[in-house]
Amino acid sequence: MNKRAAIVGLCAAATFAAAGCAPPPKVLRSHRYFGPDKTVQTYMQLSGEAVSSGDNQVRLFNYFLRVCNQQADNTTEECKDKEVLSNVHPGSI
C-alpha cells in the first residue's frame, strides 16, 4: 500500500470515528408563536439511558425548550436552549 492510500484510509477512519461520538439529533416535537416576536419550540433527544430489559426495554429521552426572537422575514435569532426534563419515558409527556 502506498503512503497516499494509507493517509486517505486513516482520514476516512478518523471521520467515521468522530461521527460516532456525536450526540443524537434533537427532534422537533412542537412549535408555537408566543406573541408577535417570539417562537417557542420543544425538542426531544435520546438520553442514552433505558429502563427494563429485553422486549420490555424503553429508551429514555431528554426534553428541551428553545426560545427564539422571530424576525419579520420569518428568520429566528438569539435562540436559547434549556433542558427541562432528563431521562423521561416518552409516553409520560
Residue 46: name the closest of 77, 23, 80 by CA.
Answer: 23
DSSP annotation string for 41-74: EEEEEEEEEEES-GGG-EEEEEEEEEEEEEPTTS
- Is the model's pTM score more than 0.85? no
What does the pLDDT look like over 48-90, one tens digit per residue? 888 888 888 889 999 999 999 998 888 889 999 999 999 988 8
Q: Which three cell numbers stand for residue 19?
A: 461521527
Residue 45: the pLDDT is 93
Residue 55: the pLDDT is 86
Residue 40: the pLDDT is 94
> pLDDT grade, residue 43 (50/70/90)?
very high
